[in-house]
């Protein structure tokens, strides 16, 4: 399998952590990619020009970390996605919170480099508020005791916040 990746992407980190958790990391060849330049190789496999993008051994291109992680879980030696029931819904809820935090933080990061405008500032404030509310939810019920897609996603989101926004108080 091959994985188009960017070293700073929290979504790629989620995929790599999931691959490690299910014992597949050694089967994946990483292809460093800058998706912002829409390189031809990535575009051939992912018309959205986004990372992560995993190309399976049989040539199927999968993109979007939720899809890739579910695929890796299905072929690997783990149970990142619990069977239907309370543990599954908990894991999927945490995945949604973690993905939402990453979406908000990545959007905020992209906006930081642009000239200040009222609309841009309002959007950045909205993204920061979404992250702050999510952190409050996580603090009220700290995810612990299970290694699953939810805890991996939350850990990757928190790592990205620390990496990109070390100096920001989200509250």
pLDDT at 32: 96
- Across 71-106, b (16+ Cβ under 10 Å) vs e yields bbbeebebbbbbeeeeeeebbbebbebbbbbbbbbb
List of residues 6+ apart from 6 with CB closer than 8 A: 12, 32, 33, 34, 35, 51
pLDDT at 115: 76
pLDDT at 171: 54
SS3 label, residue 78 = coil
CA 151 – CA 144 distance, rounded (Å): 8
- Closest Cα partner for 9 from 109, 77, 76? 109
pLDDT at 120: 80
Name the stretches of the chain with pLDDT < 50.
none
pLDDT at 70: 97
pLDDT at 167: 63
């Amino acid at each position: 399998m091959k994985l188009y990746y960017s070293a700073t992407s929290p979504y790629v980190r989620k995929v790599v952590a999931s691959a490690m958790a299910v014992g597949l990391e050694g089967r994946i060849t990483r292809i460093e990619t800058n998706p912002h330049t829409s390189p031809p190789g990535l575009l051939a496999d992912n018309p959205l020009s986004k990372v992560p993008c995993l190309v399976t051994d049989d040539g199927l291109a999968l993109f979007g970390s939720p899809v890739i992680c579910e695929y890796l879980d299905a072929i690997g030696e783990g149970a990142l996605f619990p069977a239907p029931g309370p543990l599954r819904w908990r894991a999927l809820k945490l995945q949604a919170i973690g993905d939402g935090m990453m979406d908000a933080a990545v959007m905020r990061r992209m906006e930081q480099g642009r000239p200040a405008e009222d609309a841009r500032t309002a959007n950045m404030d909205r993204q920061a508020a979404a992250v702050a509310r999510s952190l409050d939810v996580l603090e009220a019920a700290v995810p612990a005791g299970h290694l699953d897609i939810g805890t991996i996603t939350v850990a990757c989101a928190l790592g990205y916040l620390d990496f990109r926004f070390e100096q920001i108080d989200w509250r």
